[in-house]
Structure 1
Amino acid sequence: MKTIFTSKVEQAFHELSGVPEITAKIPYVTVDNFPKLGLMTSLRFLEWAEQNPQGVISLPTGKTPEYFIKYTQFLLENWDKPKGMDIRSQYGLGNMAKPDLSGLQFVQIDEFYPIDPRQHNSFYNYVMKYYIDGFGLDISNSLLINSDEIPLVDNKHFLEVFPDYNIDLSLRYREAKSVVEEMQQKSIFMIDNWCTSYEQKIRDKGGIGFFLGGLGPDGHIAFNTRGSDHFSTTRLTKTNFETQAVAAGDLGGIEISRNRLVITIGLDTITHDSNAVSIIFAAGEAKAEIVKGSLESAPNAIYPASVLQRQKNSRFYLTKGAACKLTDSVNQFYKTGEWTHSKSERSIIDLCQKINKYGHHLTLEDLKADPYTSQIPNLNAETVHTVIDSIKKKMEKGMKPDTNEVIYHTGPHHDDIMLGIMPYTNRQMRSATNDVHFSVLTSGFTAVTNDFVIGVLKECQDYIAKGEIQMLDYPDFFEVGYSKKWDKDVYHFLNSVAARNQNGKRRGLCHRVIRSIVEVWSVRNKSHLTEEIASIISDLENSYDGGKNSPEVQKMKGMIREFEEELVWAHFGTPVKNVHHLRLGFYKGDVFTESPEKNRDMLPVLEEFRKHKPTIISLAMDPEGSGPDTHYKVLQAIAGAVKEWKEEEDLSKLRIIGYRNVWFKYHPSEADSIVPVSLNALDVMENSFSESYLSQVNASFPSYEYDGKFNELTQKIWVQQLKQIQLLLGKNFFYENNHPLVRATHGLVYMKEMTVDEFVAMAQDLEKAVEENPF
């Protein structure tokens, strides 16, 4: 393979990638999975650090750097030990001396402003923990963004100047209208001066020599969002919705991140040193579109990362999923390997969209003119009809009813099953011959805000004071009674939904929360309960937004989500005993989610399979971690359990159904089942989501793709998928169809079925990735 990289690490990974040609405006390297992305980045950083021991570096925060940080620490600790030497020799650094990072000069990329630097969700805290302490960097040699140290008027603390954390940047351009505004206006200009000074200090160092950054959903690097000036410098600025949605997880909800400003270095700051090594890394197909725009467009404010075209040593490090829409990747997909019918489907469906033409109107000349459809073997006038027929068969399969099955649906988080395949599950539950189970593998407590819990607990206090929680008066309630009739809470709640009784619903929620408190805190009596509720409220009111809760509060929040999941499926008569809460141990709410462990995380899933003996298992198919990394790690646990179960039983008839949701979508050529979605199904999803997921209706942690509830985004995606197929089959196929379900179709769900052998083969690839991970 042609040598195009001067870095030994990049050349080694490039040769392994199998990418024959790079035509993008910035060179890139692809790897198979998320952990390997971190390994490549770590090795390149250490290679550069050894060559530039006094160099200026700027490294990212957030979840993407997880394996970069872990591999860097591992390699430094095991440099001359067998495992470390093996990794180094494999990727071109076998003879390199161990770098000393203590002389490197660190520059913090960005920070929320204002934020207490002691908070675990501040980037300053992250930098101190993982880079200054974790890498052994010299803090005296570093430029850091510490909100406490940015001077404000009269040496006031930021909470004295901005008591609600909100900063009105219009004060830069208008007159102050009060004494408070005058104080804030002067402080804003002082912050601006601090930013100018920070920028000058970076330039006095010669600029950043090694920059590593993630790629935001809008293409942002640092907090330089879509539309940022390519000559921007360090500044205090607002963010856009996509960035606020991503930051919601750090700050405790979109309500907080929507109003929080940021301090960020600029695009010109990053590219000031024309010889610098600037690396952007990204994982998963969810990033594929923005990666394509960033790498294949001329410098463009819509794609902030396109500014890196200025630097000859700029690189993108990508998983194959993140690179899948690059022209090089698409060309390679069609040119290599045998031509399959799936390739014909993909090329023709995509051609319909490219030229905005219905499938049955495509001509042979259209097919010959396209670089991909023209490659279809034996291309003729009937080629399009073969694709139309195969898509129709996928729809027929998606409408085929399941009967006499034991069905075990799994989701990484609460609402994943609903948002992935609810129209499919609804039909399964219509047959009394099916035994249907729903299993959520993590606690999901991070999706419940403190404010929501405080509000519910205050309602509990009111109901208790009014004597409206009668179960507290049962003689054995605090001994064993609290643990009984949890399904009755569900039934009574849904009765109140039917009766449009808002007070009844809130009482039902409070009943379940009180049961949870009694269990978690081992409450002994009513007075102990009231004391405990007051204590929890006080604890939460004195916690900062986005702060890590105690294990007890985490468990209670998770139990609220579990109640919500039970409510959803009880709409269809599913009993509480058929809704399983596995609470896998790797999920702890830390910055970096732990990797799954066999005994802790895989065996509980295996025990469920042994107990219920499902004939159908569904799972969220996200092998690269396009969405939350929980998806990827839950998939590892399920894959390990299925592989182990296969050693014990004949699973030749077991069906594995892969689904995707708002984070990661199938192309119809990848799916083998297409499930019609009616308006009725959409209404059912809307009502059950809004009535059941009480902690989520305000959309505190929305997708960056949609400012609202997840079910509304799901509906939008299903409707888009219908339009994709309508363009191939024609609209009249639907409204003139003989089948009423097809005539009622206003959305589509894509699914992919696998045999156990196919799934285990994929599981082995995942397992290999885990085994290669030395942590």
Structure 2
Amino acid sequence: MDQQSLNPETILMQAADNAIVSGESVGQPITYEKIPTQIFADSKDASNAVAQEIADLIRQKQKEGKPCVLGLATGSSPKTVYAKLVKMHKEEGLSFKNVISFNLDEYYQMEPDSIHSYHRFMKEQLFDHVDIPKENYFLPDGTIPAAMVRDYCTSYENKINAVGGLDFQLLGIGGNGHIGFNEPGSLINARTRLITLDHSTRAAAAMEFGGLHKVPRKAITLGVAPILSARRIVLLAWGERKASVIRGAVEGPVTERNPASYLQAHPDVSFILDESAASELTRVKTPWSVDSVVWDNKMIKKAVTHLSQSLKKPILKLTDKDYNDNGMSDLLAQYGACYEININVFNQLQHTITGWPGGKANADDTNRPERAQPAKKRVLIFSPHPDDDIISMGGTFQRLVDQGHEVHVAYQTSGNIAVADDEALRFIDFVVDFNKEFGIESPEATKIFTDAKEFLKHTKDSEIDTPEIRHVKGTLRRGEAKATCRFVGIPVENAHFLNMPFYETGTVQKNPIGEADIKIIENLIEEIKPHQIYAAGDFADPHGTHKVCWDAIEAALGRSKHKNFMKDCWVWLYRGAWAEWDIYEIEMAVPMSPDQVLKKRQGIFKHQSQKDGVVFQGDDSREFWQRAEERNRGTAQLYDDLGLAEYEAMEAFVRWKF
């Protein structure tokens, strides 16, 4: 492949030529995708496939006696790729001695030993675990004096060119479409440079840094042009939060507003997605519009609810013409007039609505989402953080208690890293003053307070909180969770604080789940023998706390499912504060009255350390109670728009079968 074929201007012209809806031949599926895209069931399978491609390339270059020049990315997306490569090195003898690597970017200013540094990230995730020579890997230097940055960036590109260019470039994608740190507005011919980070990029990184104000405003990034000059490019994206920007990059026009769209006409590029990241692609969101589909019940429900939403018409008002005009004539041909189809879907949605999430005793449960028996159930709610229970399913939590079920809550992690430093100091200060007020001699408490103030005053980015400070922060959040339990009405002894070991690193970067984590969950399930389990089902980040907590639950359920008591156990998944299940997925919807919405808000307010100045605000400036209420009202509005009963708000669940 010659360099001219990778010229940015040539790529832009090719993208314009390719910007059509096409099929390979008559009878082939229509495609709206301008970038080759592979969809995997989950990020692990996808990552393994990419790692295998990289390993094959390394070995091929070794056979040819040539170096393998890799462009590498950071962030959560490539972590499993690197873990797989490390495993292949240790178990299969994959050598990295012929690898030369160049990373995409680094924050500016950033010391290489900082816990937020990409230098440190790459060493921890890959370099320290394989046999790549230290002189063979390069990352942008985040400490270069400002006056030298321009020349430094030129020299960084020159190093890549001196070894023959990039054989393979691994990319992630930002929520705004950035590749590397080439933010929206970057031109296709942009070179390596110092760039000011977009607010959305900084907000997305706020969790790692412990607050938006701590996130650097600038970064050094490899430019769009040198990225496009790589001979092979693979972009990774996981989770529904990337779905919209992926659709824009893959199906939309080439535009500087979505820099990933520049990849459309690269001669050898692939987007590797999990199902959630691919969910907005036309072939996934409306597959009947690109090819013939199997019209099973799930597909019918998905298509009819989508049609109703698109046309802004209640389901029972949809007509045959609506079906025919929107690519659903095959459905009519198979099942006849739309009248019966509409009624069937309407009834299915109607049957998801219940004010009795634990089942209604002595009632016909044929069309109810939950069983009537046993009348009083043992319920176990898993809460990854100390406030997920009340934020995500507070109304349902309250109903279960009010309706007489034995409700337990398992707080899986301490949530200590989400507590601001000044909150911890305020808490310690209270303990010291409390002791003085009541004449309690506690020099230990005074020393902890003094040491904490001194540590936090001089702490650096490369340092993590002391064990004492982490314990204080965890104790604060545990107290807030207990306050919520008292508010809802369950005994404090029904609150189980699991402190799963994987979480207790003191940083956003967590350890993989281990046997101890799984055993804690398994033992609690064995102790309670629940009829219902509720767990967080939002897996946008495969390395996020919610996903890791679910992995431990899933592993524990796998071990316990053959026990007699598990035959009577149903598992319900809820979503977090950011997103809801798609309407066609919902299997139980619990309505809330205005008073119940207000009571849920008051329960969320028990978590004072998470109110106002939230450490991990993300790119959403609303407080958690606002996010939860708007999401719950949105779900109720959707049911109303589809022609069902109107409620103030709703919490939604999907049943997970094991």
Residues 71, 102 of structure 2: 8 Å contact kept? yes
Seen in structure 2, the aligned counterparts of structure 1 residues 117 and 696 have a Cα distance that, compared at 3 Å, is farther
Give the 3 Å change call, closer, same or farther, for CA 216–681 of structure 1 in structure 2. farther
- Pairs aligned (count): 609
Deviation at 1:105, TM superposition (A): 2.8
What is the rounded CA distance, in whole Å, between the counterparts of 1:325 and 1:551 in structure 2?
43
2:79 and 2:260 mapped to 1: Cα distance? 21
Q: Flag the structure with higher helix content.
A: 1
State the match for 1:673 in structure 2. 588
Can you list the C-alpha shifts for 1:706-729, whole angstroms capped at 9, x where unaligned?
A: 223222222222222233222211
- The residue number in structure 1 matching 2:24 is none
The 1:693–1:710 alpha-carbon spacing in structure 2 relative to 1, beyond 3 Å, is same
- 1:327 alignment counterpart: 282
Q: How many angstroms apart in 1 are the aligned matches of 2:578 and 2:463? A: 25
Conservation of the 8 A alpha-carbon contact between 1:677 and 1:747: yes
Shift of the 753–546 alpha-carbon distance from structure 1 to 2, 3 Å rule, reads farther
- Aligned to 1:216, the other structure's residue is in SS state coil
User: Does the 8 Å contact 1:253/1:546 carry over to 2?
Assistant: no
Matches of 2:415 and 2:68, distance apart in 1: 42
Q: CA deviation at 1:530?
A: 0.9
**1:102 is matched with which residue: 76, 97, 100?**
97
Of 353, 363, 379 in structure 2, the residue corresponding to residue 407 of structure 1 is: 379
Q: Check the 8 A contact 1:271/1:308 in 2, yes or no.
A: yes
The equivalent position to 2:600 in structure 1, one of 653, 661, 685, is 685
TM-score by length of 1: 0.73
Which residue of 112, 115, 133 maps to 1:117? 112
Distance 2:318 2:541 in 1: 34
Work out the CA distance in 1 between the residues paired with 2:630 and 2:311: 23
Contact 1:566/1:579, CA 8 A, preserved across alignment:
yes
> Is the CA contact (8 Å cut-off) linking 1:401 and 1:428 kept in structure 2?
no
1:452 matched to 2:423? yes
Q: Distance in 1 between matches of 2:328 and 2:164?
A: 47
Among candidates 419, 425, 432, match of residue 391 of structure 2 = 419
Name the counterpart of 1:510: none
User: Could you tell me which residue of structure 2 aligns to residue 694 of structure 1?
Assistant: 609
Quote the Cα distance in structure 1 between the aligned partners of 2:252 and 2:281: 11
Is 1:579–2:495 an aligned residue pair?
A: yes
Cα pair distance change 1:222/1:372, threshold 3 Å: farther
1:614 Cα deviation after fit: 1.9
Q: C-alpha distance in 1, partners of 2:356/2:213?
A: 39
State the identity %. 22
Q: Kindly provide the amino acid, as one letter, of the partner of residue 353 in structure 2.
A: M
1:535: which partner in 2? 451
The answer on 1:236 being equivalent to 2:194 is yes
Give the equivalent residue in structure 1 for 2:471: 555
2:300 aligns with 344
Q: 2:511 aligns with which of 591, 594, 607?
A: 594
**What amino acid is the match of 2:377?**
E
State the 1:280 CA deviation. 0.9
Unmatched 5+ stretches in structure 1 = 1-18, 81-97, 152-186, 474-524, 735-744, 761-775
Q: 1-side partners of 2:253 and 2:44: how far apart?
A: 31
Question: Contact conserved, 1:422 with 1:685, CA < 8 A, in 2?
Answer: yes
Residues 156-305 of structure 1: pairs in structure 2 closer than 5 A: 187=146, 189-203=147-161, 205-257=163-215, 260-273=217-230, 276-305=231-260
Distance 1:579 1:211, change over 3 A: same
Find the residue that maps to 1:349 and give its secondary structure. Answer: helix
Distance 1:356 1:203 in 2: 55
| Structure 2 residue matching 1:395: 3-state secondary structure | coil
Q: Could you tell me which residue of structure 2 aligns to residue 134 of structure 1? A: 129
Instruction: Call closer, same or farther: CA 1:692–1:444 in 2, change over 3 Å.
Output: closer
1:203 Cα deviation (Å)? 4.6
Report the counterpart of residue 747 of structure 1 in structure 2. Answer: 649
Residue pair 2:398, 2:488 contacting (<8 A) in 1 also: yes
Structure 2 residues not aligned, in runs of 5+: 1-27, 362-374
Partner of 1:633: 548
- Tell me, yes or no, if structure 1 residue 358 matches structure 2 residue 309: no
| 1:438 to partner: Cα distance | 1.1
Change (3 A) 1:78 1:142: closer
Determine the structure 2 residue equivalent to 1:565: 481
Any conservation in 1 of the 2:35–2:265 contact (CA below 8 Å)? no
Aligned partner of 1:70 in structure 2 is 83
TM-score by length of 2: 0.85
Following superposition, the deviation at residue 294 of structure 1 comes to 1.8
Secondary structure class of the residue paired with 1:281 = strand
CA drift of 1:370 comes to 1.6
Contact persistence 2:108–2:217 (CA under 8 A): yes
Secondary structure of the residue that 2:503 maps to in structure 1? coil
Inter-CA distance 62–351: structure 2 relative to 1 (3 Å threshold):
same
Residue 387 of structure 1 pairs with residue 304 of structure 2: no
SS of the equivalent of 2:567 reads coil
Instruction: Name the aligned partner's letter for residue 190 of structure 2.
Output: S
